[in-house]
Every structure is written in C-alpha cells, then in structure tokens.
Structure 1
Amino acid sequence: MARRRWWPHRWRQTSGRYAPDLWPVWIVAALAVIVVCVAGVVAYGLVRRLTEPTETLGVSDGIRLSITILTVLGAVLAGVYAYRKQRIAEGDARRADASQLAERYSTAAGQLGHETPAVRLAGVYAMARLADDWVEQRQVCVDVLCAYLRMPYEWNPDAHEYKKGEREVRQTIIQVIRDHLHEPLEQPSWSTCALDFTRATFDGGDFTGCLFRGSVSFADADFVGDLISFDEAGFLDGAVTFRGARFGAGAVTFNDARFQGGSVCFDEARFSGSALSFRGALLGPGDITFHHASLNGGTLTLDEARFAGGTVGFDHAQFADATVTLHRARLEDGALAFRRARFTGGTLSFDHARFTGGGLAFDDVEFTGGTLSFYAARFDGGSVTFDYGQFTDSTVTFHHGRFDAGAVSLGHARFSGGTVSFVRAQLNGGRVAFDDAQFSGANVRWGRLRPPGGGAG
C-alpha cells in the first residue's frame, strides 16, 4: 500500500481524476482558529510596543476590540462552512471519479479483447495508464495485463493457429511492465505488485534491470523459440532476460516450467532473501544462466528438476548463506556448471539426485564454511568434476552415494579443514579420481573407497 503524503502533495489533484484530495473539516477549523489566535496575539504585541507603556484601554476601545474579535471569528466560521460545502461537493466528485475509472476500465478491457491487433495495442496502453491513475485498483489492472499473457498463444509462424500481430501485442505488455519496474522512475512504480504468468508462453521478453518487490510466478510456463537474432521490437527471439534485475523477499517461481528452446538469463541479477524455485521444471534444450549473479540468503530450489539438454550455468556466481537444493533432480544431458562460483556458508544439496548423462562442473569453485551434500545420489553416467576447487572449513559428503557408471573427478582440488565423507558410498563400476588432490587438516572418512595413496579408482 502506497504511503499517503500530506504536504505539499496533499493539495495536488491526482492526474486523470476529478475529485480534489482535501483535508477533513475538523482539521481545517482547528487550524483556522489557531492561525487567527496567533495572528491576534502578534498584532496585539506590536500595538503594545508602539503605544506608551502607561496607556490603558478605555471602554470604547474594549468594545471595538470585542467587535473585531467577533468579526474575525465570524469570518473563520464562514470559511469553515464554505469548506464544508466543498467537502460535500467532493463526495459527488468522488462518485464521478468511480464512474469515470470504471468506464475507462471497461473500455480498456474491451480493447484488449478486440480482434484487431492495433486495437489490442491501444488497450494495453489504456490499461497501463489506468493502473497509473487508479492506485487503489492498480493490482487489478496489472492482473489483467498478466492474464492476457496467460491466454493460449501459438508462437510458431508456420502453425495454423498463429495470429499475425499477436506477438507484438504480447511483447508490448512485457515492455510496459518492464518500464514500470525500473528505478528511478518517471512514472508510478509497479514493483510491489504481484506478477502472475502461470501457464503463459514466452518466446522472448526483456526484464533487464527491473526491481521486483512482490511475488513473480512463471509456474507451468513454456519458454520456446530459437536464439536467432534481434527482431524489430528489440527482443532476442526465444530469450527472456532478467540481467541485472533485483529481487526482494518475494517468491520467484518457475515450478513445472518447460524450457524447450527458449532461454532465461539471470546474469548479474541480485537476490536478497528471495525464494527462487524451479521445482519439477523441465530444463532443456534451452539455457538458464546466472553468470555473476549473487544470492544473499534466501533459497534456490530445483528439486525434481529434469536436465534434458542445454546449459544451466552459475559461473562466477556468489552465494552467501544461501540454500540451494536439487533434491531428486535428474541430470540426463546438457551441463550444470558452477565454475568459479563462490559459496560462503549456506548449503548446496543434491540429495537423492541421479546423474545419467551430461556434466556437473565445480571447477575452480570456492567453498567456505558451507555444506555440499550428495546424500544417496546415484551416478549412472556423465561426469562430475571438482577440478582445482577450494574447500575451506566445509563439509562435503557422499553418504550412501552409488557410483555405478560415469566419472567423478577431484583432480587438484584442495580441502583445508572441514569434513569429506564417503561413508557407506558404493563404488560399483564408476570411477572416482583424486589426481593430485590435497587434504590439509580435513577430516576425511573414506568408507569403502581407498584413499588417493592407495590408488582410489
């Protein structure tokens, strides 16, 4: 809810509305009386200074003074009465406001449902302007724009259901929303509004540098298209980008979303206490990148996600006391990379995950004081590399892990302090390599695996 400002914006009439925003009568009356009394005291003091100290007021002077006071009070009461009439008229104006705003809403909604793309574009701008003017129902107007994006949409120009001009309308909606999420703003901010894109189809969109304070849902959404070139509207086909965006404490949800050709970019994004979830998402062959992003506190959930191609990259990302979980995730193809990422505290968990192909890379990663867990994970193919990684006072555990195929490499990794555990891990055919790995002061629990000096394999 927007904070109500009293001075000087209290006197300013809201753009596009008829009713003036006036103070209550009792406040005006009290202020008027106080001002008159203060002015009378000041005037009396000035007169006393200009006259002789021994001079006294006569009867006639007292009568004149009383009449003057009564006259002033009468003028004050007349002014309060006039203000009261204005307040009554204000009620009529507010009713006119409600009628006008409702009419604008109906008109804009009707335009959004029109068959002609040009009329729908006019409806987009009309609804956006109404959201700026109608603060009390801003969320409703934003919901209408988001609902338009949730409507069934055929993005392939070769398909029979494809509608010419529809992509321009949808990209305009995204652009309007983006423009209202930037700071500093020349227009009202929508950053506190909830954005619901559930089951929407995205074949491009630009949220670069936006500020999100409310919740954002892309649950069950489809990200489609090919990374070919920039179209006339300035959007990269198939790419939805949040580059440099800032996310507050609101939830950002991609649960059960499908990335099938389209890509999502979070490069240089900042997450402060956010809850970012990709639970059950199908990742691939599109790409998701978090290069140079930072997650301070909060959670990133990819539980039960399926990696079927493409790349999910966290290269150079920074995690501070964050919780990242990939419980029961499946890496079948593509790449999941944390190259040169930095973890300070927090937890990165692959519990019960299954690796049947593709590659998981922690090359040159820096892990300080946190926990990296592969509890009960299964390695049936693909590769997992920790080459040249640095783990300081951290816990790295493969408890109950099964290495049936594929390769896990800790080549040249350095473990200083902390714990490394392979308790109850099973090596049934896969390969675990420790080429030139260094363990300095770390509590290493090998379980059934042989230490590097014994030729672990």
Structure 2
Amino acid sequence: MGVPTLRRRAERRGLRLWPVGRVLALTFAAAVLVAAAVFYTGWDLLGARGLKPEHRIDSKTLFDLVKLSFGVVAGAGALVALVVAYRRQRVDEDGALREATRLHTERFTTAVGQLGNDSAAVRLGGVHALAGLADDAPTRDLRQTCIDVLCAYLRLPYTAEADLPAADAEARRTYLALREVRHTVIRLIRDHLSLPPEHPRSWQGHNFDFTEVTFDGGDFYGAVFSGGVVKFHRATFAGGTVDFNGATFSGGRVHFSEATFSGGTVHFNGATFSGGTVDFNEATFSGSTVHFNEATFSGSTVDFIQATFADGTVDFNGATFSGGTVLFSEATFSGGTVHFNGATFSGGNVSFGEATFSGGNVSFDTAQFSGGNVSFFEAAFADGTIHFNGATFSGSTVFFNEATFSGGNVSFDTAQFSGGTVSFFEAAFSGSTIHFNGATFSGGTVHFDTAQFSGGTVSFVEATFSGGTILFSEATFSGSTVHFDTAQFSGGMVHFSEATFSGGTVHFSEATFSGSTVHFSEATFDGGAVFFGEAAFAGGTVFFSEAAFAGGTVSFDTAQFSGSGVSFIQAAFSGGNVSFGEAAFAGGTILFSEAAFAGGTVSFDTAQFSGSGVSFIQAAFADGTIHFNEATFSGSTVDFTQATGPAPPGLVPPGGAPQPTGLRLPSVWST
C-alpha cells in the first residue's frame, strides 16, 4: 500500500463540522428545553396551582428581574463560548492528527524504501522501523497498513534451502541473509501478539495474511490469536521449525486451508484452542512432523476436513478434547503416522466421518474416552493400521456405524470398556483384521448390531466380559473369522440374537462362561462353523432358544458344562452338524425342551453325563440323526419325557439291559 493511498485516507478523515449558526441554534434550543423541563419538574414537585398577579412591582422585585436578565445573557454567552471552544478543540485535534499522519506517512515511505534495499542489514532496519510505526500509528487503520506490508514482504517469491543450486556459496549467503530478515518479521509479529490486549502496542485482533508464504522456520511461541483473521492459506511448511508452542486460539479465524506440510517440524505443543475457528481444510501432510502434544481443545472448531495425511507424523499425544469440535471428516490417511496416544476425550465432538484409511498408522493407544462423541461414521478402512490398544472407554460415545473394514488392521487390544457406548452398527467387515485381544468389558455398551462379517478377522482372544452389554444382534457372519478363544464371560450380556451364521468361522474355543448372559436366541446357523471346543460353562446363562440349525457346523466337542444354564428350547435342527462329542455334563442345566430335530446331525457320542440336568422334554425327533453312541450316564438327569419320534441311536440300552440311573425315556422307546 503506497503513499497516495495513505493521503487519500487522510483526506477522507478530514474534519466535518456543521455551520456555526446551525450549531448555536440547536444548542440554544436544547438549553431552553432543558430549562423548561427543570422548571416543570420543580413546579410539579412544589404542587403550585398558579402565579400570584402583581399590578405593581417594588424595587426589590425589579432588581431581581435585572439580575435574572444578566444571568440569562451570561449563560447564553457561556454557552456560545463552550461551543466555540469545543469546535476549536476539534480543529486542533484534527490538525494534530493530520500532522501525526503526515509524519507517519513520511516515516512509512522511508521504511518501505528500506525494505526494498539490496542490503539485508538495511532491510532489517526497515522491518524494525515498520514495527515501530505500527506501535506509534495514530489510528488502527494505519497500524493495520504497517502489518499488511510486513505480511506482504513474507509473501514475496522465496527460494527454500532445498531448492538452492548445489555448491553455490553466494546463493547460500543470500538465502541465509534473506531468511534472517523473514524470521525477524515473524518474531516481531509473535512479540506483539504475545502482549495483553489492553497493552497499547498489542496487535491482537488485527488481520495477518500469510497466504502462499513459504515457511522454513519461524517462532510464534506464546502468540495469542484472539480476534481478526489470520491466513496461512496455501502456505508451505518446507523445512526448519515453526513454533506455535503455547499459542492460544481464543477467537477469530485462523486458516491453514490447503496448506502443505512437506518438511521440517511444526509445533503446537501445549497450545490452547478455546474459541474461534482453526481451519486445516484440504491441508496436505506429506513429510513434516506436526505436534499438537498436550494441546487443549476446549471450545474452538478445528477443521481437518478433506485433509490428506500421506507421509510424516502428526501427533496429538496427551491432548485434551473437552469441548468444541475437531473434524477429520472425509480426510485421507494414506501414509505417515497420526498419534492420539494418551489423549483425553471428555467432551465436545471429534469426527472422522467418511474418512479413508488406506495406509499409514493411526494410534489412540492409552487414550481416555470419558465424555463427548468420537465418530468414524461411514469411514473406510482399506489398509494401514489404527490402534486403540490400552484405551479406556468410560463415558464417551464412539461411533463406527456403517464403517467399511476391507483391509488393514484395527486393534483394541487390552482396551477397557467400563462405560459409554461404542457402536459398529451396520459396519461391514470384509477384509480387515480387528483385534479386541485382552480387552475388558465391564460396563457400557458395544454395538455390532446388523454388522456384516464377510471377510477378514475379528478377534476377542482373552477378552474379559464382566459387565455392560455387547450386541451382535442381527449381525451376519458370512465369511469372516471371529475369535473369542479363551475369552472370559463372567458378567454382563452378550447378544447374538437373530444373528445369521452362513459362512466363515466363529471360535469360542476354551472360552469360560462363568457369569455372563450370552444370547444366540433366534440365531440362524446355515453355513460356516461355530466352535465351542473345550469351552467351560461354569456359570451364567447361554441361550440358543428358537435358534435355527439348518447348515454348517456347531461344535461343543470336549466342552465342560459344570454350572451354566444352556438353553436350546424350541431350537430347530434341520440341517448341518451340531456336535457335543466328548463333552462333560457335570453340572448346570442344559435344555432342549420342545426342540425339533428334523434334519442334519446332532452328536453326543462319548459325552459324559455325570451331574447336569439335561432336558429333551417334548422334543421332536422326526428325521435326521441324533447320536448318543458310547455316551456315559453316571449321575445326570437326562429327561426325554414326552419326546416324540424314533429313539436316538445309542440311547436305549440293548437287549433289555438296565436303564442308566437318571435317564428318563418315553415308555414307547423302552418297549
């Protein structure tokens, strides 16, 4: 912005005064109105009813009238003097402002000339001169002009160190001198943004335009962005260290939209985002290291919408999200590393909705989810790794609803689920590996309702279910491998109600059921394999009531039934294979009451019935095959009372041998 523009602004600021006659007339009118109002108020307060008429006045009254006349004239004169003095003061102030503006313009012209000098030392002097001019500027607009020139200097074409000609010592000296001038500009801006807003030299609330600036270093440590608009739009962070540590974003708008972080390090460690908007929309992180470690997000809107994380590292380790909104919606994670390790989510909203994870590593290890919402709604996990290892879910709502897991690895190993809600509602698992190994579910709700497991692996190996609710209701298992091996079900509820097992494999091998309620009620088994081999049913309840076994394999081979209640009431066995081979029924209650065996194979071969209560009351054996070959009945009560259909092979003692104690058969089978 040049000198002619400043002069035009000064002309527009010229003093505008009304004609003196009009001002005096208005002043007298106002004085008369005020006097009348005072007189009327006093009249009303005194309760006067009228004036006493005087046909003749004495000398005292005449003298009072003369004094009153002189008072009115003196008051009018004082009023005129006051108006004239005020106008003179305005004229003097305007003259002083004009003189200050003229001097400012002259100094401004000199400082701008220094900025254009070939000597780096002269340019440094120009930078400091402009900063001093901004401090002494008689108006806010003139201060903004000085700031605009400093920012414009940073926007001038600039060759970064990586682009310098090789072995050109002169070019490097020129570069180093220019870099020193640029870093001085940034430091002076930082110093003025660090001053409290009431300080006369504070630049808080002004606008700063760093559009398309190339940063190879710079220090904004402790700067306060509390108003105005700050633009880093399309800026390039190509090397060195840019420091926003301890900065405060409490108002206004700060734009990093379409910025490129291709090298060097950018620090936001300990920064506070408590208001306003910080925009990283469509930014590209392709090589830099960007730190938000221990930053606090308590009120701002921080926007990474459609940002691309292709390389480098972005860290939010130990950050606190207690309010405001942080958006990674539609962002692409195709490489590099993004860390939220040890972060605390206690309020606000964090969204990865429709984000794409096609590579790289995203980690929430040991993060604390105690409040607020974290959303991965419709996110696509096609490759790379995302970790929640050791994370604690005690109050937040975390959504993976309708997310797609077609590749890569998602891990919740040793995570703690004690409250809040984690939802994979209608998610599709077609190729990824999802781990909950060693996780603890002691409260809260985890939803896999209507999820689609058509490929990949989901593992809950060694997980502990001691409370809360885990829902797989209406989920479809058509191709994935799902592991609950050695899991501990000691409390809470796990629902597979109305789930469909048509392919893939679900493992509960060596799992322990000691207190939970696990529902497979109305589930459909028409393909794939479900294994409960060596599982221990020592407590709690497992329901297969009204389940449909039409295909596939369900194996309870070598399972231990010592205390649980397991219900197959009204289950329908029309196909596939269900095996209890070598299972041990030493306690608890196993109910097949009113079950229908119309097809497929159900095998209790070599099973041990030594203490449980097993009921087939009113079961229907119409077709198919159910075997009890070499089964041993030594203490259990196994009741087939009112069962219909042919007797299962291996159940009725041959050749009139005595019936084992506890085995109750329909009379028609005994004969």
TM-score range, shorter chain: 0.7 to 0.9
Contact residue 205 and residue 241 of structure 1 kept, 8 A: no
Aligned partner of 2:236 among 222, 238, 241: 222
- Name the counterpart of 2:196: 184
- Name the counterpart of 1:394: 421
TM-score (norm 1): 0.73
Matches within 5 A, 1:137-216: 138-156=143-161, 159-160=164-165, 163-182=175-194, 184-185=196-197, 186-214=199-227, 215-216=229-230
Contact residue 202 and residue 238 of structure 1 kept, 8 A: no
CA distance in 1, matches of 2:242, 2:202: 33
Contact residue 286 and residue 312 of structure 2 kept, 8 A: yes
Cα deviation per residue 1:7-51 (whole Å; 9 max; x = unaligned)? Answer: xxxxxxxxxxxx999999979969x979x99xxx9xxxxxxxxxx
Q: Which has the higher contact order (CA 8 A, sep 6+)?
A: 1
Look up the equivalent residue of 1:238 and give its one-letter code: T
CA distance in 2, matches of 1:166, 1:220: 21
Q: CA deviation at 1:373?
A: 1.5
Distance 1:261 1:275, change over 3 A: closer
CA distance in 2, matches of 1:404, 1:282: 22
Aligned partner of 2:469 among 442, 446, 452: 442
The question of 1:84 aligning with 2:87 is answered yes
Aligned partner of 1:277 among 304, 309, 329: 304
Distance 1:142 1:345, change over 3 A: same
Aligned partner of 1:306 among 330, 333, 342: 333
Look up the equivalent residue of 1:315 and give its one-letter code: G
The question of 1:115 aligning with 2:115 is answered no
Cα deviation per residue 1:106-148 (whole Å; 9 max; x = unaligned)? Answer: 5444444443333333333344344443313555544443444
Identity value in percent? 24
- Name the counterpart of 2:447: 420
The question of 1:135 aligning with 2:140 is answered yes
The question of 1:353 aligning with 2:380 is answered yes
Q: CA deviation at 1:296?
A: 0.7
CA distance in 1, matches of 2:210, 2:329: 19
- Name the counterpart of 1:455: 507
Distance 1:343 1:22, change over 3 A: farther
Cα deviation per residue 1:380-433 (whole Å; 9 max; x = unaligned)? Answer: 234533532335231421634335254533532326243411634335244533
CA distance in 1, matches of 2:60, 2:269: 79
Structure 2 runs not aligned, ≥5 long = 1-12, 40-57, 166-170, 244-263, 488-505, 510-671
CA distance in 1, matches of 2:285, 2:130: 29
**What is the RMSD computed on CA atoms of the aligned residues?**
4.3
SS at match of 1:399: coil
CA distance in 2, matches of 1:266, 1:195: 25
The question of 1:63 aligning with 2:90 is answered no
Look up the equivalent residue of 2:388 and give its one-letter code: A
Q: CA deviation at 1:289?
A: 2.9
Cα deviation per residue 1:285-336 (whole Å; 9 max; x = unaligned)? Answer: 2433352333412232253233522443353333413132253333522443
Q: CA deviation at 1:436?
A: 1.5
Cα deviation per residue 1:211-237 (whole Å; 9 max; x = unaligned)? Answer: 3234544444333336799xxxxxxx7
Look up the equivalent residue of 2:196 and give its one-letter code: P
CA distance in 2, matches of 1:197, 1:242: 21
Structure 1 runs not aligned, ≥5 long = 1-18, 42-54, 230-236
- Name the counterpart of 1:322: 349
Distance 1:21 1:439, change over 3 A: farther
Look up the equivalent residue of 1:426 and give its one-letter code: F
Contact residue 278 and residue 305 of structure 1 kept, 8 A: no
Task: Count the aligned residue pairs.
Answer: 415
Contact residue 259 and residue 283 of structure 1 kept, 8 A: yes
SS at match of 1:125: helix
- Name the counterpart of 2:663: none
Distance 1:196 1:159, change over 3 A: same
CA distance in 2, matches of 1:205, 1:317: 29
CA distance in 2, matches of 1:348, 1:23: 61
Distance 1:276 1:213, change over 3 A: farther
- Name the counterpart of 1:5: none
TM-score (norm 2): 0.52
CA distance in 1, matches of 2:114, 2:124: 8
CA distance in 1, matches of 2:84, 2:102: 28
Look up the equivalent residue of 2:190 and give its one-letter code: R
Contact residue 206 and residue 240 of structure 1 kept, 8 A: no
- Name the counterpart of 2:395: 368
Look up the equivalent residue of 2:421 and give its one-letter code: S
Instruction: Point out the structure with the larger helix share.
Output: 1
Q: CA deviation at 1:444?
A: 0.7
Q: CA deviation at 1:343?
A: 4.6
Contact residue 433 and residue 456 of structure 1 kept, 8 A: no
Contact residue 427 and residue 450 of structure 2 kept, 8 A: yes
CA distance in 1, matches of 2:203, 2:341: 29
- Name the counterpart of 2:615: none
CA distance in 2, matches of 1:92, 1:384: 73
Contact residue 279 and residue 303 of structure 1 kept, 8 A: yes
Instruction: Point out the structure with the larger strand share.
Output: 2
Contact residue 402 and residue 426 of structure 1 kept, 8 A: yes
Distance 1:340 1:405, change over 3 A: closer
Contact residue 201 and residue 221 of structure 1 kept, 8 A: yes
CA distance in 1, matches of 2:190, 2:403: 43
**Structure (1 or 2) with the larger CA radius of gyration:** 2
CA distance in 2, matches of 1:148, 1:361: 45
Distance 1:276 1:429, change over 3 A: closer
CA distance in 1, matches of 2:241, 2:98: 51
Contact residue 416 and residue 441 of structure 2 kept, 8 A: yes
